[in-house]
Homo-oligomer: A and B are copies of this chain.
Amino acid sequence: MNGTVNFANSYPSENDLREAHQRITPFIHRTPLMTSQMLNELTGAHLFFKPENLQKIGAFKIRGALNAMLSLDSAVLANGLATHSSGNHAQAIACAAALRGIKAYIVMPHNAPKVKVSAVRGYGASITFCENTPEDREAVVARIVAETGATFIHPFNHYGVMEGQATVAKEMIEDSTEPFDYLLAPVGGGGLLSGTALSAHYFSKNTLVIGAEPEGAADAVLSLQSGSIQKAPYVDTIADGLLTYLGDKTFPVIHKFVSEIVLVSDQEIVEAMRLIWERMKLVVEPSGAVTLAAIIRHKKLFEGKRVGVIVSGGNVDLGNLPF
């Protein structure tokens, strides 16, 4: 864990974001901006949802994976990609590699949900199971990289990934007729939130960026308060995409460009998730509903404002729903 804030100008530039967007545009869906009169009435805000559950692989993660991959030389790419993830980043790397016709080596904990394992396998990736500890999964990935020459793509602490995730907000800003007062993104490791903050910084100066985080994984809010990367006091949340803490590439960007991180409870997440299913007819995962949950809980902050809301993904097990 790197506890110092790095204010070096090493984070992606405006031009890096533009190039990333050009690089991945042929391979992704340009998801629409959606509105819901009912949810506007419920919140008193003007909400513009970006349904990245409708994105390829069912989540925004394909953007970062594609951009990271397409930034590599062909000779390097030929050895394949490697990562550790039990979630959407695993599918994203597997899908990106399949598109390019190269190998993907995915390290997953042996107790990963079967649906996620079979989704990754569906893209033809090679799966190696590990113990469910950071130490073991990093050791297993390191061994695979040494053996195969594959390039490791970190799930979030990677500028290429950050640039790719930034294209979500970039599209929202481009597709909105007026600037947003706020842009909301969920925060786990901070890849999406840091990218969102960079897009607002470069393309929509007067838009404030807010992160939404589960109470049961409240590391980012502490990190922002303390000025250094913190772990969560405890980890227990239904939003299984948001369990990790920030990295030494995502934290400085978030520290510099994100105005606030707000917390929501699991009950609020499930209620927001149900609202999105019932009212917007979108299948979203708990991590994807954290932003709407934040708007409902912190109603006063958003009332009367124009708010861009990232709905990050929709990969849930229909056989195991919280309602």
A interface list, Cβ under 8 A from B: 32, 34, 37, 51, 53-54, 56, 58, 274, 277-278, 280-284, 314, 318-319, 321, 323
Q: How many copies does the complex hold?
A: 2
Find chain B residues with CB under 8 A from A278 CB.
Answer: 283, 318
CA of A122 to CA of B131 in the docked complex: distance in angstroms?
A: 51
Find chain B residues with CB under 8 A from A277 CB.
Answer: 283, 318
Are B281 and A53 neighbours in the complex by a CB distance under 8 Å?
yes
Find chain B residues with CB under 8 A from A318 CB.
Answer: 274, 277-278, 321, 323
CA of A34 to CA of B30 in the docked complex: distance in angstroms?
A: 11
CA of A277 to CA of B56 in the docked complex: distance in angstroms?
A: 14
A-B pairs with beta carbons under 8 Å apart, 22 shown: A32-B32, A37-B56, A51-B281, A53-B281, A54-B280, A54-B281, A54-B282, A58-B281, A274-B318, A277-B283, A277-B318, A278-B283, A278-B318, A281-B282, A281-B283, A281-B284, A281-B314, A282-B282, A283-B283, A318-B321, A318-B323, A319-B323
Find chain B residues with CB under 8 A from A32 CB.
Answer: 32
Given contact pairs A32-B32, A282-B282, enumerate 12 new A-B contacts (beta carbons under 8 Å). A34-B54, A54-B280, A54-B281, A54-B282, A58-B281, A274-B318, A281-B282, A281-B283, A281-B284, A281-B314, A318-B321, A318-B323
CA of A274 to CA of B283 in the docked complex: distance in angstroms?
A: 11
Q: Which B residue's beta carbon lies closest to that of A30?
A: B32
Shortest CB-to-CB span from A269 to chain B, Å, is 16
Find chain B residues with CB under 8 A from A34 CB.
Answer: 54
Q: Which B residue's beta carbon lies closest to that of A122?
A: B38
Find chain B residues with CB under 8 A from A321 CB.
Answer: 318
Find chain B residues with CB under 8 A from A56 CB.
Answer: 37
Shortest CB-to-CB span from A242 to chain B, Å, is 19
Shortest CB-to-CB span from A116 to chain B, Å, is 12
Find chain B residues with CB under 8 A from A37 CB.
Answer: 56
Q: Which B residue's beta carbon lies closest to that of A313?
A: B281
Q: Which B residue's beta carbon lies closest to that of A285?
A: B281
Shortest CB-to-CB span from A172 to chain B, Å, is 16
Shortest CB-to-CB span from A56 to chain B, Å, is 7
Shortest CB-to-CB span from A37 to chain B, Å, is 7
Find chain B residues with CB under 8 A from A281 CB.
Answer: 51, 53-54, 58, 282-284, 314
CA of A314 to CA of B58 in the docked complex: distance in angstroms?
A: 19
Shortest CB-to-CB span from A119 to chain B, Å, is 10
Find chain B residues with CB under 8 A from A319 CB.
Answer: 323
CA of A281 to CA of B88 in the docked complex: distance in angstroms?
A: 14
CA of A121 to CA of B274 in the docked complex: distance in angstroms?
A: 20
Q: Which B residue's beta carbon lies closest to that of A52?
A: B281
Shortest CB-to-CB span from A284 to chain B, Å, is 7
CA of A278 to CA of B320 in the docked complex: distance in angstroms?
A: 13
CA of A319 to CA of B51 in the docked complex: distance in angstroms?
A: 23
Residue among A37, A277, A283, A284 with max Cβ neighbours from chain B (10 Å): A283
Q: Which B residue's beta carbon lies closest to that of A280?
A: B54
Find chain B residues with CB under 8 A from A284 CB.
Answer: 281
